[in-house]
Chains A and B, each alone.
Chain A
Amino acid sequence: MPEPIGPRDRGGTAERTDGARPDVLPDVLPDVLIGRPDDAALSAQLLATTTRPFTRGWKLGFAICGALTLLLFALVTLTVLRGIGVWGNNMPVAWGFGIINFVWWIGIGHAGTFISAILLLLEQRWRTSINRFTEGMTLFAVMQAGLFPLLHLGRPWFAYWLFPYPSVMDTWPQVRSALPWDAAAVTTYFLVSVMFWYLGLIPDLAALRDHAPTRPRRIAYGIFALGWRGSVEQWRHHKVAYLLLAGLATPLVVSVHSIVSFDFASTGLPGWHSTIFPPFFVAGAILSGFAMVLTLIIPARRVFRLDNVITLRHFDAAAKLLLVMSWIATYAYAIELFMAWYSDDPYEGYQQLVNRPGGWYAWGYWLMIFCNCVVTQLLWSRRLRRNLKLLFVIGLLVNLGMWLERFEIIVVSLSRDFLPSAWHLFVPTWVDLGILTGTLGFFGLLFLGFLRLVPFVPVAELKQLRAELAHEEAA
């Protein structure tokens, strides 16, 4: 078994590998690839993630996630058998955890494509080490998200009516509604993300095939490598296709969550009826996506000892983006309050100025403000941007904050709309909580499998980056 090559030092020693203390040399960014390992070393280090032994920790991780996945499937079965009355939804809060979780997971999915496609087009080198990781996260998050629009239907077996197919009943989706667009956008996003992810994976699958220690593995990876030989011709086609898909995926980053926001913005409900929603949702999605990236990559980097390829440079960049997106979200929150006051609309005013900050669910509002707007201000400090423990905690808090943001938008707005006679609280049931936990487990299960089955740091691209860096340095 090939020994992983790379720095073995732990924790705080990572700073020292930068060559200097960051607060002493303020203008120098950490390197994106430390030590400039050669191709063989990179292959050995990064392909080895698929062949490490299944230690007790891994088994425990798979067991927990597997159990939660089974819980999810059981609760999905229960929901479909008995009806969504097993959830806490009611009148007027007809959308509850289902749509909150949907929007939350979709938002988490945004960082992947943002890093893969937009940063690729913007030629940001620091994306290279983490793009596949975030793409995987995107796929699995969108898979969780996709469960909910199906499940939350009263009659989920008719979900296909949302798609424009030539029905013998001569009926089509009603396109003034946001939901058929939503279904189309999410489906498109998922498919493009899968293609983009897989296309980038092909050279590394070939490398895995070539380095496979056993014959079954070689055959398996060989099938998925689609006959990749690494010829110049193949590389040329690969590059073009990858860039084209990046170009296709880029508008999707903006469109998916914009369309998701139409589910709310196109209604008249106080708290939903707002033109700021599309950019607000996209920024929020990227915020939560980067938070989830931090949540996942910090432990993965530690476990796989990837300090040389995923460096403080990456975390610094991600933290800066987090800060920017947090400010966009903060701006949106402020604008919502301002518009509620400025419009003089009694219903909107009540919703934004009374109900959210002072109503039944005020604790959720203030916790959301704390997580999404206050905590993130720590990231102004360069030193704190490179403090991984802090980043991990901030990532978790922002994830919580973004879930609460959707709770505020969906549950809190619905619970008190126009007619006080219809107002009613929403209280989640154990099934609601179980399904949310179950999707976390299912996501974790898929992610653990991803970490162990394919190289989650793109080896070929990293080698290319090393070559480019060497070329520049030589120049």
Chain B
Amino acid sequence: MPTDGFDLEHGVRQEALERAVARVGHGWHGIAALVELAAASAWPAERAAHEAAPDDPGAAPGDPALSRRSFLQLAGSGAAAVGLAACSSRPSREILPYASQPPELTPGVPLHYATALVEDGFATGVLVASHEGRPTKVEGNPDHPASLGATRAIEQAAVLQLFDPERARLITERGAPAPWAAIEAVLDAARAARGDGLHLVLEPTTSPIAIELIRRVRAALPAAGVTFWSPFSPRASLAGNRLAFGRPLQTQLELRAADVIVALDADLVAEHPMALAYARQISDRRRVVDGGSAMSRLYAIEAGYTATGVIADHRFSVRGSQIERVAGELLAAVLGRLGLAGPPPALTARLASVAPAAERAPWIVAIAAELTGAPGRSVVVAGERQPLVVHAIAAAINAALGNLGRTVGYTEPVAFEAGQPSHDLAGVVRAIDRGAVTRLLVLGGNPVYTAPQGVALAGAIGRVADSVYLGLYDHETARACRYAVPGLHELEQWGAARAYDGTLTPIQPLIEPLFGGRSVADVLHRLLDDPPADARDRLAAAWSRLVPDAPLEAALGLGAVPGTAAPHVAVELAWGALAPVISAAGARSPAPLELAIRPHPFVHDGRYTNNPWLLELPEPITKLTWDCAAQLSPATAARLGVADGDLLALTVAGPGAAGGDTVVAAALAPTATIELPAIIVPGHADDAITVHAGFGRDGGEHTARGIGASAFRLWRSALEFHPAITAVARGDRRPLAITQAELSDEDRPLALTGTLAGLAGPAVRDALAHHRGAQPSLYARRPHAPGAQWAMSIDLTTCTGCSACVMACAAENNTPVVGARQVRNGREMHWLRIDRYYRGPADAPVLAVQPMACQHCELAPCEYVCPVEATTHSPDGLNEMTYNRCIGTRFCSNNCPYKVRRFNWFDFKDHRGLRIAARNPDVTVRDRGVMEKCTYCVQRIRRAEIDARVADRPLAGSDVRTACQQVCPTQAIAFGSLTEVDSPVVEHRRRPHSYAVLHDQGTAPRTQYLARIRNPNGALP
């Protein structure tokens, strides 16, 4: 059976144990130590048993065998010895064997707990696997509307952040340890002053419990100011809807009802707070069974490539600042076709004069025709990084098409006071500058780092007498404040949050706080001088008060409270208010070069940058790891004279043209410059550079520190994500840690593509048929063994390249992190990678993504070249690796046509430190010098077999879900047994576009693909 890999590391483990014991003994906030102790706990007993055996008076002399009784005695004494050692400076406390287990717990079998991970206030429901109290793996919660059983890569990596040894551990005052009493003194003084001089900066919150608490603070301390800040939380959509409907409303989509989707710079399937649900909704309308399948049509209009652009049927590259012009043209074209009476005559006249720019007239007209041909079954969506006018225009088009209430709905904002002045970070600085703030509480987030250039928060905090930061890391904001208090990870605390659609979600901890941190609620309760209470009791009390209809226990069991989604509100489009704004849209002339600031798909706004898993996960489009780059089109790169890796100095132009907050613009520093390496992205809009935020960190997070540069330094104001910039080649370069340098597929039949119309005809079907089926052979094929025959099928039509599967695979299978230098040398260890290829012209390419892992070939080339039978075939069709037998010739990798094998060039695994607690104990940790690769999650297969045997029922293919399959937001991966004729994987193989990669090599892979089918508009080239 697989082990945790500790067997070979007795010495290391001994050391870890001693360290852990010492820490517990010193009476620190020692849960971390206890975790390490727990991780090591099986071993000392065993070792004590073995070593003590010869001296054991109970054992008969000369009796070589250790009797069961003496073994148990020794094991018990070993465990007791650990307990005694741990209590050296405390009263001795009895330590008990695990004799009376909790009824739900079987050692070795993980339990799953429903909870939620929160980002920008919005909850994603997850199920967390806990091995004997140690959370190891996050899965999506199928019962949660924002998860539907899937997660993003970020949630997969949450356990590593929980066990991040670089998290803040001590309360500090200017870096020196400080007592909690010092913080209490600040809080008490603030309360005594009834909030005078107090200002709170929080992350946006959706939790009814937190909202109640904030309202109590406001009531008890009426003079206190409260600001909510998160750089990428929705603002423009709320403001746009306020323009369109008279009040800030949150847009909710029902994309299953949409035949035509137009995404205006909107990454619906990866970046949106509801991305997992929207990805599912879109892909449910795009599952191709054959040429006759109904399929929605997706248009993406965007600057840089996004996951939505990847799966789109048509993608048009338009600079971010020009989207509003495109939106205006689209509105004009739509209204022109519909001839509506709604808009005021002035606007109608204005729109009548709008003609699309010549180069995009064909597609604007074609899209408008499509939209007007599907009234009530179409939707136009604007991205959060677009100015409010684009959101207003999208609302106007949707209203004109009758989509409201069908594909688009509106709710009151789910986040507390969203769209209101309290969400303006500049307000904090203004208050400080007025001298109105003497006590600043920054509870969560990292506003000093994420603040726009115009908001000089760091300097302002320095002018506040008592500033307190509460959060996970000793980062920029923590260092700017006087006091820093360790916060709690979401997997350590009780609470609640709402999903983007408003569904109430309880949050429960998986583990005691590792570093004795405090939650935001703890601080607010203390501010209110509430009597101390257990966090769970507090939650239960508040819950029963606020949600009397849904008992907390039931909600925790499900991970969500069904039926609590925010109700849709009736809206009336305010054409009158819209008209002048729309008339002015797109009047700005474009700058010669502009920036597009985007959240990084994995580190978001920098809150996850200290997570090595996420840093090493290749960015889906550029395949860049451990770095941040300036993405630009081939033409723009040629204009600037740069190639991949050449450093560019990006400078924001001085204040002036920005459409944002004038107060802020006035405060802008004249220029700000960052340096980043260029990376060329075919299909990127010309004259624009996309930079992901989240890098350029310079706090106390050692992993994150010094990587790349911060896009926030070029961010002018909170509503302007496309500032005009200048870029100058610096003349030197920096090698990039890219996992796939090649852009082209060299016209090889790898990620096959076709159109829906083509699939209906015989030519494409026949061409695809050449890529599957039995190959002629001189040798008789060996029959399959009885029992399951595992196989996988991956639908390239719905794969967005989001890379959640890659992260899930790494989390499930303990694949090591190797660092930028090793990645540059082609030594990344991910068992699953996402290949991406560009096809077609460089300015308007079509991008194909293809998850690629071990194909589990029936005639595996790796197997016959292994000299020691370390890689062999199992009777159920798996290509297996026997790590202990591998001597590391790497011959198997040379002969693998898919190059999916990974080699431990060094001892890559972590030996010590907290991060090893995130390992999956069911999967062997590989040693130096052995080959490894995808196993089809064999540990899950064997677990399912055991469960079936115990339950005395036949094993069904659906009993097994691989980690990649389980996490996939679009359910693109099917897994099961070929022996079950009605299983999804067999059904996939019957489809006309099922094929095997490198079929001509005769490897008979068990993983097959469904070709990527697009549904292009016949009216467009």
Provided the pairs A84-B905, A95-B890, A419-B750 are in contact, do residues A176 and B852 lie with their beta carbons within 8 angstroms? no
Provided the pairs A85-B906, A177-B891 are in contact, do residues A268 and B741 lie with their beta carbons within 8 angstroms? no
Say yes or no: B930 contacts A155, CB within 8 Å: yes
Say yes or no: B906 contacts A418, CB within 8 Å: no
CA distance A84 to B907 in the complex (A): 10
Say yes or no: B897 contacts A174, CB within 8 Å: no
Chain A residues numbered 171-211 whose CB sits less than 8 Å from any CB in chain B: 171, 173-174, 176-180, 183
Assess whether A287 is interfacial by the CB under 8 Å rule: no
Say yes or no: B826 contacts A92, CB within 8 Å: yes
Q: Closest A-chain residue to B900, C-beta based? A: A422
Q: Closest B-chain residue to A161, C-beta based? A: B868
Say yes or no: A161 contacts B887, CB within 8 Å: yes
- Residue from A92, A173, A346, A424 whose CB has the most chain B CB atoms within 10 Å: A424
CA distance A183 to B837 in the complex (A): 41
| B 910-933 to A, binary, CB cutoff 8 A, 1 in contact else 0 | 000000000000000001111100
Residues of B within 8 A of A92 (CB): 826, 893-894, 899
Assess whether A55 is interfacial by the CB under 8 Å rule: no
Say yes or no: B864 contacts A421, CB within 8 Å: no
Q: Closest B-chain residue to A270, C-beta based? A: B897
Provided the pairs A91-B826, A154-B890, A417-B897 are in contact, do residues A423 and B748 lie with their beta carbons within 8 angstroms? no
CA distance A346 to B746 in the complex (A): 10
- Chain B nearest Cβ from A331, distance in angstroms: 26
Residues of B within 8 A of A424 (CB): 741, 826
Residues of A within 8 A of B906 (CB): 82-83, 85
- Chain B nearest Cβ from A23, distance in angstroms: 50
Assess whether A147 is interfacial by the CB under 8 Å rule: no
CA distance A19 to B16 in the complex (A): 83
CA distance A154 to B899 in the complex (A): 18
Residues of B within 8 A of A347 (CB): 748
- Chain A nearest Cβ from B473, distance in angstroms: 31
Say yes or no: B895 contacts A91, CB within 8 Å: no
Say yes or no: B898 contacts A154, CB within 8 Å: no
CA distance A178 to B928 in the complex (A): 24
Assess whether A153 is interfacial by the CB under 8 Å rule: yes
- Chain B nearest Cβ from A229, distance in angstroms: 47
Chain B residues numbered 876-897 whose CB sits less than 8 Å from any CB in chain A: 885-891, 893-895, 897
Assess whether A17 is interfacial by the CB under 8 Å rule: no
Say yes or no: A83 contacts B750, CB within 8 Å: no
| B 842-873 to A, binary, CB cutoff 8 A, 1 in contact else 0 | 00000000101000000001001111110000
Q: How many residues of A contact B (CB 8 A)?
A: 50
Residues of A within 8 A of B898 (CB): 418-419, 422
Chain B residues numbered 722-759 whose CB sits less than 8 Å from any CB in chain A: 740-742, 744-748, 750
CA distance A181 to B972 in the complex (A): 44
Assess whether A294 is interfacial by the CB under 8 Å rule: no
Say yes or no: A173 contacts B899, CB within 8 Å: no
Assess whether B825 is interfacial by the CB under 8 Å rule: yes
Q: Closest B-chain residue to A263, C-beta based? A: B891
- Chain B nearest Cβ from A172, distance in angstroms: 8
Residues of A within 8 A of B747 (CB): 346
Say yes or no: A91 contacts B902, CB within 8 Å: yes
Say yes or no: A90 contacts B825, CB within 8 Å: yes
Assess whether B82 is interfacial by the CB under 8 Å rule: no
Say yes or no: B929 contacts A154, CB within 8 Å: yes
Say yes or no: A174 contacts B888, CB within 8 Å: no
CA distance A268 to B775 in the complex (A): 16
Residues of B within 8 A of A119 (CB): none
Assess whether B430 is interfacial by the CB under 8 Å rule: no
Partner of B748, one of A89, A272, A418: A418
Partner of A91, one of B868, B889, B899, B997: B899
Residues of A within 8 A of B745 (CB): 420
Say yes or no: B905 contacts A174, CB within 8 Å: no
CA distance A183 to B867 in the complex (A): 10
Chain B residues numbered 1001-1018 whose CB sits less than 8 Å from any CB in chain A: 1001
Assess whether A94 is interfacial by the CB under 8 Å rule: yes
Partner of B895, one of A88, A152, A267, A419: A267
Q: Closest A-chain residue to B825, C-beta based? A: A90
Say yes or no: A154 contacts B748, CB within 8 Å: no
- Residue from B746, B822, B893 whose CB has the most chain A CB atoms within 10 Å: B746
Say yes or no: B852 contacts A268, CB within 8 Å: no
Say yes or no: B742 contacts A421, CB within 8 Å: yes
- Chain A nearest Cβ from B894, distance in angstroms: 6
Assess whether A342 is interfacial by the CB under 8 Å rule: no
- Chain B nearest Cβ from A181, distance in angstroms: 9
Provided the pairs A88-B825, A92-B893, A174-B868 are in contact, do residues A421 and B837 lie with their beta carbons within 8 angstroms? yes
Partner of B886, one of A85, A155, A423: A155
Say yes or no: A177 contacts B866, CB within 8 Å: yes
CA distance A174 to B744 in the complex (A): 38
Residues of B within 8 A of A183 (CB): 867
- Chain B nearest Cβ from A466, distance in angstroms: 50
Say yes or no: B894 contacts A421, CB within 8 Å: no
Main secondary structure of the interface of A (DSSP, over half): loop
Main secondary structure of the interface of B (DSSP, over half): loop
CA distance A156 to B928 in the complex (A): 11
Say yes or no: B867 contacts A89, CB within 8 Å: no
Assess whether B283 is interfacial by the CB under 8 Å rule: no
Assess whether B827 is interfacial by the CB under 8 Å rule: yes
Say yes or no: B868 contacts A89, CB within 8 Å: no
Assess whether A44 is interfacial by the CB under 8 Å rule: no
Assess whether A414 is interfacial by the CB under 8 Å rule: yes
Say yes or no: B748 contacts A417, CB within 8 Å: no
Residues of A within 8 A of B928 (CB): 83, 154-155
Assess whether B904 is interfacial by the CB under 8 Å rule: yes
Chain A residues numbered 259-298 whose CB sits less than 8 Å from any CB in chain B: 263, 266-269, 272
- Residue from B867, B895, B907, B931 whose CB has the most chain A CB atoms within 10 Å: B867
Say yes or no: A179 contacts B891, CB within 8 Å: yes
Partner of A83, one of B748, B826, B890, B929: B929
CA distance A88 to B822 in the complex (A): 10
Residues of B within 8 A of A268 (CB): 861, 895, 897, 1001
Provided the pairs A92-B893, A155-B887 are in contact, do residues A421 and B930 lie with their beta carbons within 8 angstroms? no
Assess whether B265 is interfacial by the CB under 8 Å rule: no
Assess whether A159 is interfacial by the CB under 8 Å rule: yes
Residues of B within 8 A of A159 (CB): 887
Q: Closest B-chain residue to A426, C-beta based? A: B826
Residues of A within 8 A of B746 (CB): 350, 420
Residues of B within 8 A of A179 (CB): 865, 867, 889, 891
Assess whether B998 is interfacial by the CB under 8 Å rule: yes
- Chain B nearest Cβ from A269, distance in angstroms: 6
CA distance A156 to B887 in the complex (A): 7
- Chain B nearest Cβ from A372, distance in angstroms: 24
Q: Closest A-chain residue to B997, C-beta based? A: A419
Say yes or no: B905 contacts A85, CB within 8 Å: yes
Chain A residues numbered 97-135 whose CB sits less than 8 Å from any CB in chain B: none
Residues of B within 8 A of A263 (CB): 891
CA distance A180 to B867 in the complex (A): 6
Say yes or no: A85 contacts B827, CB within 8 Å: yes
CA distance A178 to B747 in the complex (A): 33
Partner of A418, one of B864, B929, B930, B998: B998
Assess whether B199 is interfacial by the CB under 8 Å rule: no
* A residues apposed to B, CB below 8 Å: 82-85, 88-95, 152-156, 158-159, 161-162, 171, 173-174, 176-180, 183, 263, 266-269, 272, 346-347, 350, 414, 417-425, 427
Nearest first, the 6 closest Cβ-Cβ pairs linking A and B are A154-B888, A154-B929, A85-B905, A90-B826, A421-B835, A422-B899
12 A-B pairs within 8 Å (CB atoms) are namely A83-B904, A83-B906, A91-B826, A92-B826, A92-B899, A94-B894, A155-B930, A171-B885, A174-B867, A177-B865, A179-B891, A420-B748
Q: 10 additional contacts, CB 8 Å, given A89-B905, A161-B868, A269-B895?
A: A82-B906, A84-B929, A91-B902, A154-B887, A154-B930, A155-B888, A174-B867, A178-B865, A267-B895, A417-B899
* B residues apposed to A, CB below 8 Å: 740-742, 744-748, 750, 822, 825-827, 833, 835-837, 850, 852, 861, 864-869, 885-891, 893-895, 897-899, 901-907, 927-931, 997-998, 1001
